[in-house]
Amino acid sequence: MLPRPTPATAEALPGGRGFAVVDVEATGRSPWRHRVVEVAVVVLDERLCPEGEFATLLDPLGPVGPTHVHRIRQADVEGAPRFREIAPRLLELLAGRVLVGHHVSCDHAFLDREFARIGVSLPPVPLLCTMGLARAHLPEARGHGLAACAEAAGLGWYPAHTALGDARVTAELLRHCVGVPSCPPDDWAGPLREAARVPWPRLGRARSRPSGDAVPLLRREAPYGPWLPGSAAPEVVLTQAGAMCSTA
C-alpha cells in the first residue's frame, strides 16, 4: 500500500468520495482500434489516504500488442478476464470520484471506449492530470513523462509500464504536487465537488463463467523501491489475485 500522506496534503471535504488513480496498458495507441490489456486503480479518499487497489490483466480477444513496451506476453493473458467481466467492479471503484492519471485523457479515452463496447456510457467525470500538475508545480523535472516527474519528486524507482506500478507512483505524485505551497486548493477541491454530484451507471456483478468458475483476476507485481541507480530492475511477477465473486 502507499505510505500515508504528509500533513501538507488536502483537507477532507464533505460530500466528496475522493480520487480514483487509474492506469491502463493497451494493445496500441488508438482507443478506437486497440484494446485495454491491463488496468489498475488506486483508490484514495478526500485526504489522499489509500483505501484500496484493484489490478488485473485482461484478455483483449486478440494480439497483446507491443510486448517490448508493456512486457505482457500472449501467454500471460490466457485465462484472464475480459473487460465486460470486470466492468461492474470498475464502475463501483470510479463512481463519485475524481479520475486521476498521468496524461489522464488517454486513460479515460481507453476506458470510455471499453465501456462503450459493452453498451455503457460513462458520465462526464471530472479529470485531474498529474502531468498538468507537474508542469505547474514541479519545475525541476527534466521532462513531463511519469518517470521524469517521479524522479524530480524523489519517489524512486517503480515498475514502469505495469498498470499497478504506474498507478501507485501516480498517486504518490498527486500527493507531492498537492502538497507543495504553489498548488492552490482549487486544483483539487473543485474536481472533488464536481465528482460528488455526477450520477453513475451501475451494472450487476460479473456472473460466473460457463464452467461455473468465478471470474479470475491476474495481477502483475514487482518490488516497489527503493532502487539504486545502475542496478538491474527486478522482474515483474504474474500472480493470480483471487477471483471476483460469482452471482446467480
Amino acid 6: pLDDT = 34
Residue-wise pLDDT tens digits, 104-134? 999 999 999 999 999 999 999 999 999 999 9
The grid coordinates of residue 184 equal 492552490
Residue-wise pLDDT tens digits, 138-186? 999 999 999 999 999 998 778 888 999 999 999 999 999 999 988 888 8
Residues 6+ apart with CB under 8 A from 2: 42, 50, 168, 171, 172
23 or 209, greater pLDDT: 23
Amino acid 190: pLDDT = 87
The grid coordinates of residue 127 equal 479529470
**pLDDT classification of 3: cutoffs 50, 70, 90:** very low
In the predicted model, is pLDDT for residue 7 greater than 50?
no
Amino acid 234: pLDDT = 52
Residue-wise pLDDT tens digits, 47-92? 999 999 999 999 999 999 999 899 899 999 999 999 999 999 999 9
Distances 62 to 51, 79, 92, 240, 244 between C-alpha atoms, Å: 33, 13, 27, 21, 23
Amino acid 229: pLDDT = 45
Residue-wise pLDDT tens digits, 201-232? 988 765 556 666 777 899 987 665 544 444 45
Distances 174 to 37, 75, 231 between C-alpha atoms, Å: 24, 34, 27
Q: What's the average model confidence in pLDDT over 4-25? A: 62
The grid coordinates of residue 147 equal 518517470
Separation of alpha carbons 26 and 34, rounded Å: 7
**pLDDT classification of 20: cutoffs 50, 70, 90:** very high
Separation of alpha carbons 119 and 84, rounded Å: 10
pTM, rounded to two decimals: 0.86
Amino acid 231: pLDDT = 46
Triad 100, 103, 108: Cα angle to 5°: 60
Lowest mean pLDDT: which of 48-57, 102-111, 187-196, 237-246?
A: 237-246
Amino acid 17: pLDDT = 86
